[in-house]
Amino acid sequence: MGLLDKLSGWLGLRKKEVNVLVWGSITAAKPPSSTNSNHPIESHAIIFVIDSGDKLRMVVAKEELDTLLNHEDIRNRKMPVLFFANKMDLRDAMSSVRVSQLLSLENIKEKPWHICASDAIKGEGLQEGNMWRNLEWKRALESRRMHRLWKVSLSSGWFPENR
């Protein structure tokens, strides 16, 4: 059972449809031009999977990440980005801190992001990532609700402080 199989169980949102764009290991064997798709338009979050045991592919992963984050449908959206540094069980796997450095994640300022070391076979790290994702979605929903409430209050003359 791979990471995507385990994630589908963790993401199990049955009442509402939420689109999550999973990127990384799936596209690692494909050229960067394959990242031009219609999926970002519909996505509410991004899960980017990195093979932390493959140092040679980190340059490709960085290029894919940069291409993805600069996609016209993603660039100006505050969708959360969850990174899984997968295959942490390998003897020579890079730490999530090292993966973060190689991908220059500290430069992502306009989107909330989080990186977890993971082992898809054992399911390690998936719960941590899922908990962070849930928290970010709740924050995003609350922010949208407050924004709508504020817009309604401005149009109707009702202001929260006059309650």
Structural domains in the chain (count):
1
**19 is known to lie in a ligand binding site:** no
**30 is known to lie in a ligand binding site:** no
Q: What is the pLDDT of residues 62-118, one digit of tens each?
A: 999 999 899 888 888 888 999 999 999 999 999 999 999 999 999 999 999 999 999
Q: Which residues contact 73 (CB under 8 A, 6 or more apart)?
A: 40, 41, 43
Do 102 and 108 touch, CB atoms closer than 8 A?
no
Range of the domain at 157: 3-162
**89 is known to lie in a ligand binding site:** yes
Q: List, in sequence order, every residue forming a beta bridge with 14; answer none if it has no partner.
A: none
- What is the domain-level CATH number for residue 46? 3.40.50.300
**88 is known to lie in a ligand binding site:** yes
Single pTM value for the model:
0.69
Q: What is the pLDDT of residues 28-56, one digit of tens each?
A: 444 444 444 555 566 678 889 999 999 98
Return the structure tokens found at 19: 């689109």
Please state, in angstroms and rounded to a whole number, the distance separating the CA atoms of residues 27 and 33. 10
Do 42 and 19 touch, CB atoms closer than 8 A?
yes
Return the structure tokens found at 125: 């790290």
